Amino acid sequence: MVSGINASTKRWVVGITGASGAIYGVTLCRQLLNAGFHLHLVVSEAGWRVLKEELGWNVTNRLECINKAFDSAQAEGRMTYHPLGDIGASIASGSFRCEGMAIVPCSMGSLSAIANGASTNLLTRAADVMLKEGRPLLLVPRETPLNAIHLENMLKLARLGVRIIPAMPAFYNGPQTLDDVVDFIVGKTMDGMGIEHNLYRRWGHPNE
């Protein structure tokens, strides 16, 4: 549930890259669709590989795969899938109105490209648009261990106002399943997006 706004008029851009943790991005997309947002999705080539390897998706027909994974949201007009190479897509322009963008998970390669202004594909161009237009940009990096280059790139983006939300699960909420762990990370991402949810129990609220 989204509080205080008409979600049906709101758009979020979501990017899924080749870092491990594709389930985070898929779960976030489903949550946004369930909340009534219009979703604009772009997936990197490595992201498609991870969707295949980690979730068992048949990615031969990508549009068909998207419709199957998200209950025909694309066919019903609740979602727009943008191919990575479509640099002329709506989300590549600052005139496109949206609430912001989340890249979940975000590989170190994509993070580096964004930090250094290398808009070589639609995903990194859309992120660059968020920066130049002053819109929210949230990254969920997933890598371990981190080297100095990774840390410096994240610090650079954080200083520009980008929300860095590492995929670091908490355990105070007593997770019992892998879904609980995933929901915590997605919930923290949605907190950063300003979207209400009930994906995890908050500290100090044992009955919620």
- Which residues sit in the known binding site for FMN? 18-20, 44, 107-110, 142
Q: Phi and psi at residue 109, in whole multiples of 5°?
A: -65, -45
In this structure, the dihedral spanned by the alpha carbons of residues 43, 49, 50 and 52, taken in order and rounded to 10 degrees, is: 110
In this structure, the dihedral spanned by the alpha carbons of residues 57, 62, 110 and 193, taken in order and rounded to 10 degrees, is: -80
Residues of the binding site: 18-20, 44, 107-110, 142, 172, 188
Instruction: Give CA–CA dist 28/18, Å, rounded.
Output: 16
Rounded to the nearest angstrom, the gap between the alpha carbon of residue 21 and the centroid of all alpha carbons in its chain is 11
- Going by C-alpha positions, the residue among 29, 35, 72, 73 that lies closest to residue 47 is 29
Instruction: Give CA–CA dist 119/169, Å, rounded.
Output: 31
Rounded to the nearest angstrom, the gap between the alpha carbon of residue 205 and the centroid of all alpha carbons in its chain is 27
Residues of the binding site for dimethylallyl phosphate: 172, 188
The helix (H) or strand (E) run that includes residue 38 is: strand 38-43
Query: Where would I find the H helices in 85-177?
Result: 108-115, 122-133, 148-159
Q: Residue type at 56?
A: G
Sequence length of the chain is 208
